[in-house]
Amino acid sequence: MILFTTSEIYPFSKSGGLGDVAGILPLALRELGREVAVITPLYGRIYSTTYPLRLLMENCPVGYPWPEVTADIYVADYQGVPVYFVDRPEYFDRGEYYCTYHGEYFDNCERFIFFSRAVLAWARWLDHKPTILHCNDWHTSLIPAYLFEARQSDPFWGDVGSVLTIHNLAFQGQYSARLFWESGLSLSAWSMDGAEYYGSFNMLKTGIAYADKVTTVSPSYAREIMTSEFGYGMEGMLAKRARDVQGILNGVDYSIWDPRADPFLKAHYSPYDLSGKRLCKKDLLETMGLHSRFLSRPVLGFIGRMRWQKGVDLVLDILPELLEMDLGLVFLGEGDLETETSLTNLSEQYPGQLAVEIGYTEELSHQIMAGSDIFLMPSRYEPCGLTQLYGLRYGTLPVTSDVGGLRDTVTPWPEPGCTGFKFRRFEPEDFAETVRAAVDLWADPKGWEAVRQRAMLQDFSWRQSAREYDNLYRSLEE
């Protein structure tokens, strides 16, 4: 049995792509005949009512940060996959998952040590013993180290393997050494080849050191993270583990992201009949208060965390040119206060042409995806990226930078088989020029139609990726 451990899982919790991946990969694995269960924290923000939660166990002993501390375990039947929820309200019943405008929660390290230890504690109570603990990002990356140590003392764990998937190397969970001493890991883990990073306790590094296999979410990012440009200080550790590092591209959950059946849309459409897309565009213009003349002009959409990674500042840099080209602009996201404020001010300055929604809205994200013509994604780095894949399926052609998963998923115009647009140098001029090329092609309906249809017919479903994970698990189970 694969026990998939994650700090978020859609539709119960989600702050970004990790939630999407956790919500579909276990289902795709089950379709391949794998037995899978998921374990995740029970946040105050859990919002699915479709899958009711049931209390399974009170007071599961966790023993951290004091010997007496316990967790309650709930379960939901998520389309045949059990999802276990670790409940400890003082850690997880909060307004946000990880951070507020004031920064990270002060006790994030403690929260996720607690969660990781609860995973190991609960795994011992399961009817079916896991063969693999599949961990994701820094939140759960101490688990491979706990497992490594448990294997030495407890035969139960002897044949259990661990996989760590890195969704974003920039977030490492780095804390004061003091927290290491409280984590329960043994002294031998405190080394250059383990949990220690220049005197600090680095949770992601610990996972990279101890996991039996390390994966990341695209082949290009797997190569990039071995370099100092993208490695965020982990390149040395990753290079040491190079033989066990692999890139497996994410897929898309087309049961949620497909304009043929998307319940959030006013109208549906397919690669062969795009009349519904026009209705979606009209609806988007009305919802966002854009002028109706943009029905016959390109509308550019941006959806995502408004952070340095996503390059929203590059969009702001070229805004005067975009406005001059008479394009409509729609932004949805939350993140840096400064970016949010600039965009809000701009929307007041250019009413009817530039609209912004600050916040997190699942419904609107689908509507922007369907109602826009072009999707902007000028990421500085992008481990995989899912929104460009949604853009392809929704016929909203992506204009992207040329990094990580964007490299692996978008074929740039005018190459044969092109599905979108890319700029190579991360400079405003290059980005502006590429948007201009996209707008020029948009003005040629035949040319646009050909690329759009090809984009919509791309298949990034999870089947292939799930097979690769399955093979990876097999290599550890043998």
**Which residue ranges make up the site for ligand GLC (CB under 6 A)?**
16-18, 21, 167-168, 217, 250, 382-386, 405
Orientation of helix 108-123 relative to helix 143-153, angle to 10°: 40
What single DSSP character describes residue 49? Answer: S
Q: Determine, following the binding rule CB under 6 A, whether residue 247 of this chain makes contact with ligand ADP.
A: no
What single DSSP character describes residue 269? Answer: -
Q: Which one among 12, 13, 17, 34 touches ligand ADP, defined by CB under 6 A?
A: 17
Residue 222 CB contacts under 8 Å (≥ 6 apart), including other chains: 215, 216, 245, 246, 247
When CB distances are held under 5 to 8 angstroms depending on the partner's kind, the choice from ligand ADP, ligand GLC, none that residue 365 binds is ligand ADP
Stretch that binds ligand ADP, among 103-111, 173-181, 299-307, 449-457 (CB under 6 A): 299-307
Looking only at the bridges linking them, the beta strands covering 299-303 and 245-247 are: unpaired
Structure tokens belonging to residue 441: 């092609």
Nearest residue to ligand GLC by CB is 17
CB of 157 to ligand GLC, least distance (A): 27
- Cα–Cα distance, 314 to 185 (Å, whole number): 43
Q: Determine, following the binding rule CB under 6 A, whether residue 16 of this chain makes contact with ligand ADP.
A: yes
Residue 100 CB contacts under 8 Å (≥ 6 apart), including other chains: none
CB of 386 to ligand ADP, least distance (A): 4
> Do 214 and 241 form a contact (C-beta atoms < 8 A)?
yes
- Cα–Cα distance, 410 to 412 (Å, whole number): 6
> Do 447 and 441 form a contact (C-beta atoms < 8 A)?
yes
Say whether 191 sits in a helix, a strand or coil: coil
When CB distances are held under 5 to 8 angstroms depending on the partner's kind, the choice from ligand GLC, ligand ADP, none that residue 217 binds is ligand GLC
CB of 247 to ligand GLC, least distance (A): 11
Q: Which one among 207, 304, 328, 428 touches ligand ADP, defined by CB under 6 A?
A: 304
Residue 154 CB contacts under 8 Å (≥ 6 apart), including other chains: none
Of 384 and 472, which has the nearer Cβ to ligand GLC?
384
Q: Which of residues 384-413 bind ligand ADP (CB under 6 A)?
A: 384-387
Q: Which one among 26, 259, 333, 371 touches ligand ADP, defined by CB under 6 A?
A: 333
Of 166 and 432, which has the nearer Cβ to ligand GLC?
166
Say whether 288 sits in a helix, a strand or coil: helix
Q: Determine, following the binding rule CB under 6 A, whether residue 301 of this chain makes contact with ligand ADP.
A: no
Residue 108: closest CA among 203, 37, 26: 203
Of 17 and 371, which has the nearer Cβ to ligand ADP?
17
When CB distances are held under 5 to 8 angstroms depending on the partner's kind, the choice from ligand GLC, ligand ADP, none that residue 332 binds is ligand ADP
Q: Determine, following the binding rule CB under 6 A, whether residue 372 of this chain makes contact with ligand ADP.
A: no
Q: Give the largest Cα separation in the chain, rounded.
A: 70
Residue 211: closest CA among 136, 125, 291: 136
> Do 146 and 198 form a contact (C-beta atoms < 8 A)?
no
- Cα–Cα distance, 325 to 299 (Å, whole number): 11
Binding mask 27-56 for ligand ADP (x = CB under 6 A): ------------------------------
Of 2 and 252, which has the nearer Cβ to ligand GLC?
252
- Cα–Cα distance, 334 to 11 (Å, whole number): 19
Q: Determine, following the binding rule CB under 6 A, whether residue 8 of this chain makes contact with ligand ADP.
A: no
Of 347 and 365, which has the nearer Cβ to ligand GLC?
365
Of 220 and 250, which has the nearer Cβ to ligand GLC?
250
Q: Determine, following the binding rule CB under 6 A, whether residue 6 of this chain makes contact with ligand ADP.
A: no
CB of 156 to ligand ADP, least distance (A): 35
Stretch that binds ligand ADP, among 25-33, 149-157, 358-366, 407-415 (CB under 6 A): 358-366
> Do 361 and 386 form a contact (C-beta atoms < 8 A)?
no
Q: Determine, following the binding rule CB under 6 A, whether residue 447 of this chain makes contact with ligand ADP.
A: no
- Cα–Cα distance, 172 to 131 (Å, whole number): 26
Residue 25: closest CA among 469, 477, 383: 469
- CA-CA distances (angstroms) from residue 124 to 26, 53, 112, 155, 162? 20, 21, 19, 12, 15
When CB distances are held under 5 to 8 angstroms depending on the partner's kind, the choice from ligand ADP, ligand GLC, none that residue 436 binds is none
Of 21 and 135, which has the nearer Cβ to ligand GLC?
21
Of 250 and 400, which has the nearer Cβ to ligand GLC?
250
How many other β-carbons are positioned within 10 Å of the β-carbon of residue 461? 15
Q: Which one among 3, 7, 20, 161 touches ligand ADP, defined by CB under 6 A?
A: 20
Q: Determine, following the binding rule CB under 6 A, whether residue 362 of this chain makes contact with ligand ADP.
A: yes
Return residues touching ligand ADP (CB under 6 A): 16-17, 20, 303-305, 332-334, 360-362, 365, 384-387
